[in-house]
């Protein structure tokens, strides 16, 4: 009864806080969009600022199509709007050590081939874009050969166009060692890094785009504490090496690809303590790693309520899974094509993963199941061979096939994977705290669905598993097994 009350309290908390924070976010992002004010000339003010000087712009609307050709700081004193009037770029920078602070960029053109931008910078090192707003822009920030840039605390919203016609919110081209932190991006195409190594991206919130984050030939990058929701793909990592992903949230990315995380020809990846929930495919692996001697480490993540938690191409090898929680995914492991999946491990040093459909037991109470977990459902095997059979999910046909496989083991398929040391309790993830941020959003409807699911599952799922709410949320409502992480503060 105590567990039931706790789960209902959590459900109510989710609803109330999401409604409240959604209202705050909508109010905070509503800008004064009065474009009737006359546009003041900006270029003469820039031309009159000496190299290394500071230009403080009083509140007002200024004409775009301006150029910065020397190091300087441009700072807003009040609401300063730079408006291109629906044509071309708003501001272009052709110098190093330029700082843009608190400006609003508005009204670019709509030409994809000319890449109309709110801010485009070329060949300038150590550029800082801080606390700026980009609205009604095709591309937001485009940095070309601009090493050591800092893009901090900006809000970027694309033009209201169909997704294929939108530009990128932030694009780096051969701009290594950039820092991209605390930005909020909504409704753009991608946040993309081309040929840009050693980039760090922390605490960014990206939603309603194509690829939340996209890496092409960019190595040594770090993604930490980001929230990527309601995109076609959360993050797509391609043709790169040595990337680290920690404490990120990938939720409700359900476009045509629908990957929370997509990997293509990647070498050297660490995926730790992420929450991957409600995607079509949580983690998609295609030829990753490429080199036989490389190993990818995937630990401490929560894969929950995805159509497929982890999907492999049959030839993929060299991925190590441990201390992950696989919670109520329609299909825990998918193999996309014919062939046997080999060379991937689902336990490290005697510690496996938690599987919500595990039917084993733990007689010695060490927190590890006494028999192995096997992903060997016959209907899942048939779906992997012919995805059209997903139409029959949850139908009497699925249940009949499952019953036949259990009654007549001769028709039971070979297991797709085996976890020889399955955990008996889920592992809490530090990324759960990211869901409490207002920018992580999700809307009232999503909160209500979560609350209803929690309330509906309370008597059956918790009672059947013998779990407490603390197991899933990292809270100290009940006991934890020896292989669970400490409760979150």
Is 243 found in the same domain as 182? no
- pLDDT tens, residue by residue, 394-410: 678 766 777 776 666 66
Give the tokens for residue 62. 């200024």
Q: Cα 139 to chain center, whole Å?
A: 20
Query: Do 8 and 148 share a structural domain?
Result: no
Residues 182 and 324 in one domain: no
Domain co-membership, 345 together with 317: yes
pLDDT tens readout for residues 32-45: 455 456 899 999 99
Burial of 297 (0-12, 13-18, 19+ CB in 10 A): middle
In tens, the pLDDT along 343-372 reads 999 999 999 999 999 999 999 999 999 999
pLDDT in tens, 417-452: 899 999 999 988 776 765 555 444 444 344 434 443
Are residues 42 and 108 located together in one domain of the fold? yes
Evaluate whether residue 16 is within a structural domain. yes
pTM of the model: 0.81
Mean pLDDT of 2-15: 42
**Considering only CA atoms, which of 314, 265, 253 is closest in space to residue 294?**
265
Domain endpoint, select from 196, 222, 242: 196
Per-residue pLDDT averaged across 204-230, rounded? 97
The verdict on 256 and 352 lying in the same domain is yes
Q: Is residue 5 part of a domain?
A: yes
Considering only CA atoms, which of 234, 172, 181 is closest in space to residue 206? 234
User: Would strands 373-374 and 233-238 be described as parallel, antiparallel, or unpaired?
Assistant: unpaired
pLDDT over threshold 70, residue 5 = no
Whether residues 286 and 433 share a domain: the answer is yes
Residue 396: per-residue pLDDT? 80
Is 9 a domain residue?
Answer: yes
Say whether both 154 and 284 belong to one domain.
no
- 336 — pLDDT class (breaks 50, 70, 90): confident
Same domain, 325 and 363: yes
Spell out a b/e string for 474-484, using b for 16 or more CB atoms within 10 Å of the CB, else e.
bbebbebbebb
Whether 360 is covered by a domain: the verdict is yes
Residues 182 and 240 placed together within one structural domain of the fold = no
Number of domains in the chain: 3
Domain of residue 363 covers: 232-376+414-441
First to last CA, the chain: 25
**293 with 331, same domain?**
yes
In a domain, 395, yes or no: no
**Gap between the Cα atoms of 226 and 200, Å rounded:** 11
- CB neighbour class for 341 (10 Å; exposed up to 12, middle 13-18, buried from 19): buried
Query: How big is the CA angle at 62 (ends 58 and 67), to the nearest 5 degrees?
Result: 105
In a domain, 309, yes or no: yes
The partner residues of 40 in beta bridges, in order of sequence, read 62
Q: For residue 452, is it within any domain? A: yes
Read off the pLDDT of each residue in 328-338 and give the average, rounded to a whole number: 89
Q: Which residues contact 290 (CB under 8 A, 6 or more apart)?
A: 265, 266, 267
Residue 192's DSSP bridge partners are 171, 214
In a shared domain, residues 363 and 323:
yes
User: Within a domain: residue 310?
Assistant: yes
Phi-psi region of 339 (alpha: psi -120 to 50; beta: other; left: phi over 0): left
Q: Given 141, 170, 196, which residue is the final one in a domain?
A: 196
Neighbours of 227 (CB within 10 A): 25
> Pick from 173, 196, 219: which residue ends a domain?
196
Long-range contacts of 255-260 (CB under 8 A, 24+ apart): 255/210, 255/231, 255/280, 256/232, 257/232, 257/233, 257/281, 257/284, 258/232, 258/233, 258/307, 259/233, 259/234, 259/283, 259/284, 260/228, 260/233, 260/234, 260/235, 260/306
261 forms bridges with which residues in the sheet? 235, 283
């Amino acid at each position: 009864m105590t567990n039931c009350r706790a789960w209902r309290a959590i459900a109510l908390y989710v609803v109330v806080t999401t409604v409240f924070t959604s209202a705050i976010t909508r109010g905070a992002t509503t800008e004064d969009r009065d474009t009737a004010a006359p546009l003041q000339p900006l270029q003469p003010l820039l031309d009159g600022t000496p190299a290394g000087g500071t230009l403080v712009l009083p509140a007002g609307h200024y004409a775009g199509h301006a150029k910065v050709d020397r190091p300087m700081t441009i700072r807003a004193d009040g609401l300063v709007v730079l408006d291109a009037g629906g044509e071309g770029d708003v501001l272009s920078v052709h110098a190093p050590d330029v700082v843009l602070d608190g400006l609003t960029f508005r009204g670019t053109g709509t030409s994809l081939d000319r890449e109309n931008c709110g801010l485009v910078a070329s060949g300038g090192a150590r550029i800082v874009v801080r606390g700026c707003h980009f609205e009604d822009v095709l591309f937001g920030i485009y940095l070309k050969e601009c090493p050591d840039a800092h893009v901090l605390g900006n809000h970027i919203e694309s033009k209201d166009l169909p997704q294929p016609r939108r530009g990128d919110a932030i694009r780096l081209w051969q701009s290594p060692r950039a820092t991209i932190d605390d930005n909020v991006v909504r409704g753009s195409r991608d946040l993309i890094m081309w040929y840009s190594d050693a980039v760090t991206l922390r605490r960014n919130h990206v939603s309603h785009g194509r690829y939340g984050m996209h890496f092409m030939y960019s190595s040594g990058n770090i993604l930490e504490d980001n929230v990527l929701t309601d995109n076609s793909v959360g993050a797509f990592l391609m043709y790169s090496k040595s990337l680290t992903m920690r404490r990120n949230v990938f939720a409700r990315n359900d476009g045509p690809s629908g990957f929370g995380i997509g990997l293509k020809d990647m070498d050297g990846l660490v995926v730790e303590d992420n929450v991957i929930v409600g995607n079509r495919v949580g983690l998609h692996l295609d030829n990753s790693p490429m080199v036989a001697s490389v190993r990818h480490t995937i630990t401490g993540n929560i894969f929950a309520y995805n159509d497929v938690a982890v999907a492999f191409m049959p030839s993929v090898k060299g991925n190590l899974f441990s201390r992950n929680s696989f919670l109520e995914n329609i299909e825990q492991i998918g193999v996309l094509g014919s062939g046997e999946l080999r060379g991937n491990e689902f336990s490290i040093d005697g510690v496996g993963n938690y599987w919500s459909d595990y039917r084993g037991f733990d007689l010695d109470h060490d927190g590890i199941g006494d028999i192995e977990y096997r992903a060997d459902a016959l209907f899942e095997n048939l779906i992997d061979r012919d995805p059209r059979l997903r139409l029959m999910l949850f139908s009497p046909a699925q249940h009949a096939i499952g019953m036949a496989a259990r009654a007549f083991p001769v028709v039971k398929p070979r297991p797709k994977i085996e976890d020889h040391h399955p955990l008996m309790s889920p592992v809490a993830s530090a990324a759960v705290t990211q869901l409490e941020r207002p920018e992580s959003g999700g809307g009232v409807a999503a909160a209500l669905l979560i609350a209803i699911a929690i309330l509906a599952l309370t008597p059956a799922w918790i009672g059947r598993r013998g779990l407490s709410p603390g197991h899933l949320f990292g809270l100290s409502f009940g006991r934890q097994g020896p292989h669970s992480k400490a409760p979150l503060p």
